[in-house]
Amino acid sequence: MKTRKRPKHLNLFKVRLPIAAITSILHRVSGAFMFFLMPYLLYIFISSLKSNSGFAFAAELLDSWLFKVVFMILVWSLIHHLLAGIRYLVMDLDIGLSRNSANISAALVSAMAAVLSVFIMVWILT
């Protein structure tokens, strides 16, 4: 059996990850985004309940274009994290562990997260 020589200096920008690895990375990124955004959202919520001026501040903040962009990313994060989590739970039951089925389920998770996010964002923002 012939062994391939491994490169000494691997260029990480040229490495092509499989879709399952990209989905796994996005699952972690979406979870981290939700975790770090939670204190900010709680601050807005609490300030809106304290007084009329706090409510006006929160309403003005929620109406800004920056928050709408953050909200769109948050919607995608919630949906992707939920769907990828369900995928991992199914994989924990020893279903879909082959390379082909794992790639198909990862592609489905990414596609469904994108489509559902667009539908929900259009529904909420219109």
Up-side HSE of residue 105: CA atoms within 13 Å toward CB?
18
Per-residue pLDDT at 9: 67
Position 6 pLDDT exceeds 80? no
Q: Of 40, 112, 111, 114, which is closest to residue 70 (Cα–Cα)?
A: 40
Please report whether residue 38 resides in a domain.
Answer: yes
How many domains, in total, are found in the chain? 1
Condensed to tens digits (0 to 9), the pLDDT of residues 7-48 reads: 666 777 777 889 999 999 999 999 999 999 999 999 999 999
Cα Rg of the chain (Å, integer): 20
Please report whether residue 11 resides in a domain.
Answer: no
Please report whether residue 93 resides in a domain.
Answer: yes
Q: Of 103, 94, 98, 112, which is closest to residue 22 (Cα–Cα)?
A: 103
Please report whether residue 8 resides in a domain.
Answer: no
User: Any idea what DSSP says for residue 71?
Assistant: H
Range of the domain at 75: 19-125
Distance CA 86, CA 92 (A): 10
Please report whether residue 9 resides in a domain.
Answer: no
Distance CA 10, CA 12 (A): 6
Q: At CA 44, angle to CA 51 and CA 126, rounded to 5?
A: 105
Q: Which residue has the higher pLDDT, 16 or 104?
A: 104
Please report whether residue 113 resides in a domain.
Answer: yes
What's the CATH code of the domain at 90? 1.20.1300.10
For the whole model, what pTM was predicted? 0.83
Please report whether residue 78 resides in a domain.
Answer: yes
